Amino acid sequence: MINVTKSFLPPLEEYNVYLKEIWKMNWLTNDGPFVRQLEEKLRDKLKTNRLFYVANGTSALRVSIKALELEGEIITTAFSYVATTTAIIAENCIPIFCDIDPETLTIDPEKIEELIGDKTSAILATHVYGNPCNIERIEKIAEQHNIKVIYDAAACFNVKYQSKSLYAYGDLSIASFHATKIFHTVEGGAIFCNTAGLEDKIDLYRAFGHRGEEAESYIYAGINAKNSEFHAAMGLCNLKYIDDVIAARQKITSFYDNELRQLPIKMPAIRGNTDSNYAYYPVIFSNEAKMHEVNKALEEEEIYPRRYFYPALNTLKYVRYASCPIAEEIAKKILCLPLYYDLAVEDQQRICRIISGCF
């Protein structure tokens, strides 16, 4: 069986070294030494400002919204994973859906301005598949209208734009370190703070909103977004191998490119001046029927791609619908092919042969 992804796992003996230390210290969570060590190593690796390791990408979004004190409406993309939308709803804000650029699949900044109103407090944009948004245009719009910018950069580990970490843009930027991501800590995420003065608020909001037990120590209505020593230990192990993992994914991506380029399919355009991390391999078919045909042919051979991202978020039954025709159309006919660090060459060949056979 070949799934759309496969989690990288370090040598078990390396992880066991950390487990022995955790048992010795008996310090399991609450800002432990491995959490702090991971934060330091990630800052060094990514060359970013202050970052906060948290429980997952969704809690990173929620804490970001809290820390920026956002209210009212947040303009966001209709094409992303559902957590982008549900984090907004969970923080009692209203998602206002914007359509996407048909080439990069990221939020279309030319359609953002027409959605800005008196209740708009921020733009929450997703770097889709690790592909940067039109950052310059988005941040110019935000500055003109005095609103905040959060980037959902869940899949962007080690991606650089203009020779700088993609996490270094926006008021805040978030990462997911879920097991399906290139760099993972089994469960986890991070908030990258690019706005001075927010650090203490983020630190409090991720830890119930208080320090100490005195009445005056309870400052904010925070959540428990902390992460454990066990998860941080996995991150410390995996960080050693991340460059090799990305290099392997680049090689597989190049193979797909060479084998599939003659077919009547389309891949999203990568924004210029981007150093990719090869997080996904999305394929856009000419119509939904062809996507289903290819998907079925692969599944019959126990190969399981995934419909990232389906459905378009503006069509969810618990949100206010807004027409986003490009996002709705793309969501129906896109498929992400299997891509992971040790996907065998013969399996890559088989996947491409099956897809080609459908044409």
Q: What is the pLDDT of residue 218?
A: 86
Q: What is the pLDDT of residue 318?
A: 97
- φ/ψ bin of 48: left (φ > 0), alpha (ψ from -120 to 50), beta (otherwise): beta
Mean pLDDT for the stretch of residues 112-140: 98
Mean pLDDT for the stretch of residues 308-321: 97
Cross-strand pairs, 165: 160
Per-residue pLDDT of 23-58, as tens digits, reads 999 999 999 999 999 999 999 999 998 999 999 999
CA 253 – CA 352 distance, rounded (Å): 12
Of the candidate ranges 6-10, 95-99, 151-155, 214-218, the one whose mean pLDDT is the lowest: 214-218
Q: What is the pLDDT of residue 351?
A: 98
Mean pLDDT for the stretch of residues 353-359: 98
| Alpha helices (H) in 180-287, listed in sequence order | 199-205, 229-239, 242-260
Mean pLDDT for the stretch of residues 234-248: 98
CA 207 – CA 229 distance, rounded (Å): 15
Q: Residue 14: which pLDDT band, with cuts at 50, 70 and 90?
A: very high
Return the biggest CA–CA distance within the chain: 69
Cross-strand pairs, 191: 52, 174
Mean pLDDT for the stretch of residues 68-96: 98
Beta carbons of 73 and 94 less than 8 angstroms apart:
yes
Q: Domains plus CATH for the chain?
A: 2-239 (3.40.640.10), 242-357 (3.90.1150.10)
Beta carbons of 105 and 128 less than 8 angstroms apart:
yes
- In Å, how far are 131, 255, 258 from 126, measured between CA atoms? 9, 27, 28
Q: What is the pLDDT of residue 216?
A: 75
Neighbouring CB atoms inside 10 A of 17's CB total 12
Q: Residue 17: which pLDDT band, with cuts at 50, 70 and 90?
A: very high
Q: Residue 289: which pLDDT band, with cuts at 50, 70 and 90?
A: very high
Q: Which residues contact 248 (CB under 8 A, 6 or more apart)?
A: 341, 342
* pLDDT exceeds cutoff 90 at 283: yes
